[in-house]
Structures are given as C-alpha cells and as structure tokens.
Chains A and B, each alone.
Chain A
C-alpha cells in the first residue's frame, strides 16, 4: 500500500495544475503564486509526500481543491453508493451466472444452452458504456420504465445512505447494476460451466453415480461445491476491481459514487481526492484478497486437514 501511495503521489505532480482551475480568468500571477504557497505546492516533493503519509494514516486527506470540503467527508458520502452498486451487481452476476452455468453444463447439447452461450459473448465483448447507453435508450427513453440517471430517493441509516429501501431506488439501481455485472455474469457462467464439465468427468462422480446417488445430490452436493473455488477467486478479484473502477458505469448513469468522484478529480487535477482514492483502492484490493484467502480455508476442507497433518508431524 505504501508503494501505491508513493506512485499515486508522484503521478499527481504530473496531472496538471489545480491552481488554474481554482481561480477565475482574471487572477493575476501573484494571486496564483499566493495560492500555490498556501496549499504547500511549492514545498519539495519528499516533504509533501511525508506530510501526505502522516495525514493519511490519521484518515485526513486534506480538503478537495474542487469542492472545498474535507476529502474524508466526500469519500464517506460516496462510498455507500458504489458499494451498493457493486453489491447488487455481484449478486446479479452470481444469482444468474451460477445457475446458468450449471444449466449449460448439465444440458450441454440443448439449443437453449447454445443460445445462452452465444448471448454471453455479447456480455464479454460489449464495452460497458455502450451497454449502459443502450439500456438507457431502451428502458428510459423509449419505454420510460426506469430513470436514466441518478440513484433515486435515498434513506439515511446513520452515515450510510441507501437507495435499496424504496421502489424508486431499486428502479434506479437495476440498469447500472446490470451494466456493471454483465461481464462478471458471463465470466462466472463460463467458468462454472467449464469447471462443472470437468468435475462431472472425475472418478468420484462416476463412483457416486455407480453407488446410485440421486442426480440432484451428485450435481449440487458434490459437483457444484468443487467448482466453487475458482469462482470465488475470480469473483473476489473482480469485486475489488469493480469497487475501485466502476468509473465508466458511474459516469454513464451519473451514479454518485467513488468512480465519478475520481474521474472528476482527474479532470480538475484535484490532487487530494486522487491520492486518497488510489490509497483507498489499494486498501480495498488488499482486504478483498484477504477475504478470498480466508474463504478458501472455509470452503475447501483439504486446506484445513493439510494444516493439521503438518502440525502433527
């Protein structure tokens, strides 16, 4: 994380001059110099970096140049939006991806399976912004079933603001979640299918069938559980990526989350927000990977027994 912080900080010195965005066209050179001095932009870079790390450790990322509000407040306000979006899209991807994956694995040769697989190619190849705008065109402009932008009405639960408690909130989250989750869905679908096909060919499945276990027990009790490990890995990594980089979807749908905040910060050269965001993104990746590793131990009993074996010897 320290490396990321260093890189983020160094890069931010090359993304442009925030001063020119902060002052009007009439500001004199003296005014601009004074503001540079005030913001500490004239100090040597190592000094600025150490100051940054010290403040970051306390959770203080300074004040956004663009919005003139403390960065931690901004992040606290925007994080729920992104997390909800990612959560809904992950649930969508898993809830449809896994069953469809199983279906296409079990009924490999049916035309329905082939159809699903072909459509899934679209999920992988369509860029998110094309998909998003397509959905907006169909469902907002033509059918007028769902709003084309924003989160809809939100309710506050403490510092968390949620849009999931109202019907309009759900209407607003569906399209962005589908846009964000479609790629995930396709990935999971194909992964589950490939894994299932492989597992179904293994010896222990053959023996289970020979023993006379019901199909349902075999498919779901044995085969599916074994396919889950790669799915967990992929999903975990993707979720980290989704939280950090839902930028395009958020921009298309004007979803007030972290991604939109970041892209606006880049355009404005709002250095405090950019640095804070990159540090936060690296934190998320680290945590997600940790959770995925822990889940391995939970899901795969072999990992648990191996440890016990080594402990005894």
Chain B
C-alpha cells in the first residue's frame, strides 16, 4: 500500500515538474517525410532544405513570390566575365556568436564542392571563392556564368571555425563509420536555432533574437517551432483536426474539403514549380517491353503525338487531381524564365486524330507497351497512370502498368531500363537552362528518353555562358520550340501545392514548397 502511494507521488512529481509555460507562441507542424540530415551540404532534397532554411542562410534568398532578394549578401555584380563580386552583410552573426565574414563564404563553397556533398552540381562551373575584404567576396568561374546567384539560393553558409572545431570540414563521409557532428547539430545565421534534433521523431527550433533580419523584415512572433513527421495521411489530418497541429505541409487531396469545412482550419494553394510528364524512349532500335519487332514505335513522332492526344487531361484534372493541377504544354511552369503561355498550350484531346496518326505511322492495330510509374512520389501518381492505361487502350495501345516505389522506379530511368515512364521535374533556379541541362542534353542522367539534338546541345551550352539577357532568352526560346515540336515528353500538368493551416496562423504559401517561417505570424 505504501509502495503504491510512493509510486503515485513519484509520478505526480515528475509530471508536475516541467511545463512552467509562459505564453509562448509555439508553431507545431507536420509533414510526411522528415529532413534526412542537418548537414547543410549533405542532401539536396526539398524536405531537408525546408528544415535547414530556418537555421542556415544563403548569400541570395527568395521572397514569397520566389524573387531573388539579398540575404547574407546585400548586392552582387559581375566585375569581370568570369568573376562575380558579392557585398556581404556586416551584422550577421552565427548562433555560437561568431560573426559571419567572407572567409566563411570561401569555406562553405570549398566544403560544398567536396566529394560527399550533394550540392556539388550547383557549383560545377565555380573554380573557387576569394576573400577580397572581410565583407566582400569574389567567386571565380571557369566560364561566364550568368546564373550563379540563382545557383547560390540553396547553398548554405557555414562557419569555418565551428566546422574545424567539430571536424566537419567535409560533408558526410559514409566510409568513416561515424556520424558526422553536423548531422544533428547546427550553427547557422538564420532566424531560428536548432535546439533538439531527433530524426523521424521531432525537431525543435527556438527563436534567434540576434538574427539580423529582425530589424529588416517585419518581426515575426514565433518563439518555438516543433516539427513532427507523421507518415500516415489519416493520422496527420487527425492531428490537425484535433488541434494538435497548427500547420500541415502536405494534406492529402481527398481531405481538403473536410479541412475547409472544419471550423478554425483552412487551406491555401499555389501552382508548384514542378511538372509531371511521360517520357517515351526514342533511343532504342527496338523496345524491350513492346510486342513490335525491328521497329521502335516511339521513335516516330506521330506515335508520340498520338499518345499525347489520347490523354484526356481535363478528366485527370477534375476526377483525379480534384481540380488541383494546371494542364501543361511544356515540361516547365510559369515562374521559370523561358516559359510563355503560347508554349504551355496543349495539343487538343482528340482520340480519333490519335488513331489516325497511329495508322499513318504503320500501327493500325496499335501495340503493347509497359508503363513504369512511381507510387509514392508525385501527387496521385499511380491513379494518373491507371487512367492513362485506359485512355490509351481506347486508341489501341495496350499498356501494362508497373507501379513501384520511387527507390525502384527512378533507377530504371537512370539505367535506361524503361521505355515509357512517368517523371516529374522541379526547377530550383527558376530558369529554363536547368531543364535543358538535365532533361534534354544528350547523355545526361535524367534524359531517359534518349533525345539527342545537336542544335539543342549547342543552344544549352550557349545559354549557360551568355551574359546578355536578351540574346540568352532568344537561345532559350529557340530550344523550347525544337523540343516542343519533337514531343520528346508528353507533358501532363504542373502540380499544385496545398497547405493546411489553423486560422490563427498565417504563412504565405510559396511555389517551391519550402516555407520560411520568419514570414509566418500568429494572429491570436
């Protein structure tokens, strides 16, 4: 009896102890997948960047409309054809008290170029950075690089001394066998300080009162951020509905009506900078997964156009995407430089014309083919593919659907093991060159269709070096015209992002799906 009493007292004490709650504004939010690492140069993927961007900063930032704005650099200019000069902010301070200087920029660029860093590809044309004075740095490139500032919007700045002290001078090295200190600890210049990092369990950040931005922007009123990954869709929404969360980054489409109907909750949407498309193998002599021998149906442009025009994108838009998509005519959306409305106009849905094109090309009875599709990557990816199967059946193409998780699907594209696949592409630099470099240039990893056009390769090279914006845009326009006429990819739609929020919390929605919480406010 006395033992039980003692145990009860002990329990009561332990529960009573913490939670001396001052009126603190705590942002509790969730999404499906956690950041993979807190090493700023470790993994170049959106959930990781979302977490890092609250704690670390870059030279060039983006505002809510994704325009480039000064962040750790106040201005930048080309001083010689292969040299960019950046003026740095003088009042930025790392969370451990060290001031931010040009030497840190030099170090961060060096570090991001090391072997294990996943951000190396942003810096392939960068040869080195040079400290001119404590707050002026010059970045030297191997050839003129008009887009360098855009490439720097995801390159986080680290402090050299802190990195030396904790031996994280290079990004995560898998061979070393030990966890790299930066994976769970951080030292940035950003508006929030990392307090607790338990991967897949929770990440807690607290307000940084020494942040330079507090005097530059409208001060935000968030004191603490608690992030929990919740992989199950139903549980994530239940937590929002029960009041345990203020913000959900990725509510499933079928729950949006429920959320909007619930008192105290609402959703916001914006067109995402990501386009979904089908890739058609035009490279091989014969397609491994088709029943046609000796010929490759997809090598004939008419067949590609037939596939394009057989897809009823409006049905997909209304039934599968529930209105939350923007049908596309090219594989990149409007915020990206080089997009025009004319380019983005689709060929009309016309199954009869499609059938005619097929028989003109020599396939009056259609053919068989396998469609490879991810089932856990894009919004309703598998459902879109299933709908496509029936649409293509109507014009005589007999499709076998192979839907798999992304870890099985994407290697197929890279290893050239697929003839007909669904893919998606985002553009972090908001410039068309990024699309051409990765999707259309001969031989690049993500060019799964085998498209190879000498003029497009030439244009891509020209646009990467051309400093005159008008001339550069002319190159971009010409390249888009060529690839659009070629129907290399069958574009589907640009995705739409939806966020779910509690009424008392405001956060402007951004097209790159990366909220920066210093822009958020609690209104209650």
Contact = CB atoms under 8 A, between A and B. Distances in A.
Contacts of B235: 133, 136, 148-149, 252-254
Contact of B15 (A65, A68, A167): A167
Interface string B174-204: 1101111001100000000000001111100
A65 B438 CA distance: 25
Interface string B399-436: 00000111110110010000000000110000000000
Q: Please classify how large the interface on chain B is, using the bins under 10, 10 to 19, 20 to 34, 35 or more.
A: 35 or more
B11 A260 contact: no
B70 to A, nearest CB: 25
Contacts of B179: 63, 68-70, 73
Nearest to A151: B201
B407 A20 contact: yes
B445 A70 contact: no
Nearest to A270: B407
Interface in A1-50: 15-29, 31-32, 34-35, 38-39
A28 to B, nearest CB: 6
Interface string B75-107: 000000000000000000000000000000000
A20 B414 CA distance: 9
Given A21-B406, A254-B228, A260-B231, A144 B200 contact: no
B290 to A, nearest CB: 25
Given A21-B406, A28-B445, A254-B232, A148 B44 contact: no
Contact of A24 (B45, B405, B407): B45
Contacts of A28: 121, 444-445
Nearest to A69: B179
Contacts of B44: 23-26
Given A25-B438, A39-B174, A144-B243, A267 B445 contact: no
Contacts of B208: none
B71 interface: no
Nearest to A30: B445
B508 interface: no
B520 interface: no
Interface stretch (B34-42, B159-167, B383-391, B454-462): B34-42
B457 to A, nearest CB: 16
Contact of A27 (B14, B15, B172, B445): B445
A62 interface: yes
A260 B200 contact: yes
Contacts of B449: none
Given A24-B44, A68-B172, A268-B407, A136 B234 contact: yes
A10 B414 CA distance: 23
Given A165-B11, A251-B232, A140 B200 contact: no
A256 interface: yes
Contacts of B198: 77, 256
A148 B115 contact: no
Interface residues of A, number: 59
A68 B228 contact: no
B244 A149 contact: yes
Contact of A140 (B242, B425, B438): B242
A196 interface: no
Given A63-B177, A153-B18, A165-B14, A27 B231 contact: no
Contact of A25 (B243, B407, B426): B426
B446 interface: yes
Contacts of A136: 234-235, 238
A91 interface: no
Residue picked from A15, A27, A38, A254, most chain B C-beta under 10 Å? A254
A297 to B, nearest CB: 31
A67 interface: yes
Residue picked from A15, A62, A67, most chain B C-beta under 10 Å? A67
A55 B30 CA distance: 36
B281 to A, nearest CB: 17
B121 A32 contact: no
Contacts of A165: 10-11, 14
A113 B200 CA distance: 44
A84 interface: no
B407 A32 contact: no
A241 interface: no
B237 to A, nearest CB: 9
Contacts of B229: 254
A16 B174 contact: no
Contacts of B411: 16-17, 19-20
B405 A29 contact: no
Contacts of A29: 414, 445
Contact of B36 (A63, A67, A155): A67
A82 to B, nearest CB: 13
Nearest to B118: A24
A268 B45 CA distance: 14
A137 interface: yes
Contacts of A264: 200, 231
B199 A67 contact: yes
A98 B230 CA distance: 35
Contacts of A20: 406-407, 410-411, 414
Nearest to B178: A70
Contacts of A23: 44, 118
B276 to A, nearest CB: 14
Interface string B313-328: 0000000000000000
Nearest to B19: A153
Contacts of B11: 165-167
B43 interface: yes
B483 interface: no
Contact of B244 (A19, A63, A148, A153): A148
A109 to B, nearest CB: 38
B51 to A, nearest CB: 13
A137 B238 contact: yes
Nearest first, the 8 A-B pairs at minimum CB distance are A24-B44, A16-B407, A17-B411, A26-B121, A269-B407, A16-B408, A20-B410, A256-B201
26 contacts: A16-B404, A20-B406, A21-B406, A21-B407, A22-B43, A25-B44, A25-B425, A27-B445, A28-B121, A31-B121, A39-B174, A63-B177, A67-B183, A133-B238, A141-B238, A141-B241, A144-B242, A148-B238, A149-B230, A165-B11, A166-B15, A167-B11, A254-B230, A256-B198, A267-B405, A269-B407
Interface of A: 15-29, 31-32, 34-35, 38-39, 60, 62-63, 65-70, 73, 77, 133, 136-137, 140-141, 144, 147-150, 153, 155, 165-168, 251-254, 256, 260-261, 264, 267-269
